[in-house]
Amino acid sequence: MMIRLGLVGIGKIARDQHLPAIRADDRYELVATASRHAQLDGVPGHVDIAAMIAGDHRLGAVSICTPPVGRHAIAAAAIDAGLHVMLEKPPAATTTEISALADYARARGVTLFATWHSREAAGVGPARDWLSDKRIRAAHIRWKEDIRRWHPGQEWILDAGGFGVFDPGINALSIMAAILPAPLLLDAAQIDIPEGRGSPIAATMAMRSGDAEVTADLDFLQTGPQSWDIEVETDAGTLRLSMGGSVLELPGGEPVTREDREYPRLYTRFAELIAAGKSDVDIRPLQLVADAFLVAERRTVAPFQF
């Protein structure tokens, strides 16, 4: 059955990832958009979710790609209208918001899909399978990228509620929470917040999974080569994921690179959930970020300008 889809938010991530995935999947028909700042040629556009719902497009589902602050109200309006909802990561501004949305979707009998696109990287599933029967000794995240390259001019990302360096960093946490056999728990953190900003430009996290030490080093100011790397030390050697999970290296083997289809896989999963009448809402990565803000030592660092 064709899913008549509305897209809310037409920013960089929607244009770079969501639109190509939607257009390539014959299970979807993009019938409307909602954005205060942009429209798509040939697709009816509206200024907000209320106008889109009222537009008589016979919508069946919406995909929400707005910044996390304010997303709860958008998703709640869609659920209230009986629409299935897919959420770009992070799924909401707070853990309370996403839990409330999950409850509301359940009560209304609609699908809610809180996506974690990095989990769909080519090496993540095989990494999880390989680690399932191993003893984990330690694990390390190095997630360092250039904010000016990947988020040009996106001032909101350093506002309060914008997540700062945790916006990309939560991708690594989503992978780690998925591949480690034991729960991931936070012990301590440090966050560096530029003077006059509300969210961190860098962070470190000290965690544990079972009896294994897990560390994370997150940076939004890395120029040159970018680092999206995870290492997991086990009793059978060290597993390495690089390039955000698209390259997998197992002990004794060569790095294996496979084609990434992160967003096409997300839309496949959304269609499957709708067909099965189910939801998929894993809030563990968001909980880890919330925990970091709770316990972190805060440092004020030099002002940042795009």
Confidence bin at 1 (pLDDT 50/70/90): confident
DSSP letter for 221, please: B
Residue 4: pLDDT band with limits 50, 70, 90: very high
The reply to whether 12 belongs to the active site is no
Predicted local distance difference test score (pLDDT) of residue 250: 97
The beta strands (E) that lie in the chain are given as: 3-8, 28-34, 45-46, 61-64, 84-87, 112-114, 136-144, 184-194, 202-209, 212-219, 227-234, 237-242, 247-249, 256-257, 297-301
| Matching residue, tokens 């200024």 | 47
- What value does the mean pLDDT of the chain take? 97
pLDDT at 155: 96
Can you give the pLDDT at residue 258?
87
Q: Mean of the pLDDT values across residues 32-50?
A: 95
Q: Global pTM?
A: 0.95
H/E/C letters for each residue in 261-298?
Answer: CHHHHHHHHHHHHHHHCCCECCCHHHHHHHHHHHHCEE
CA distance linking residue 14 with residue 169, whole number of Å:
19
Residue 174 confidence (pLDDT) above 90: yes
H or E element at residue 107: helix 95-108
Domains detected in the chain: 3-114 (3.40.50.720), 122-257+290-301 (3.30.360.10)
Residue range 78-114, pLDDT digits in tens: 999 999 999 999 999 999 999 999 999 999 999 999 9
Residues whose CB falls within 8 Å of the CB of residue 211, separated by 6 or more in sequence, listed in order: none
Average pLDDT over residues 264-271: 98
pLDDT above 90 as % of the chain: 98
Active-site residue among 12, 89, 134, 278?
A: 89
Q: How confident is the model at residue 259 (pLDDT cuts 50, 70, 90)?
A: confident
Mean pLDDT for the stretch of residues 46-65: 97
Tell me, what's the pLDDT at 115? 98
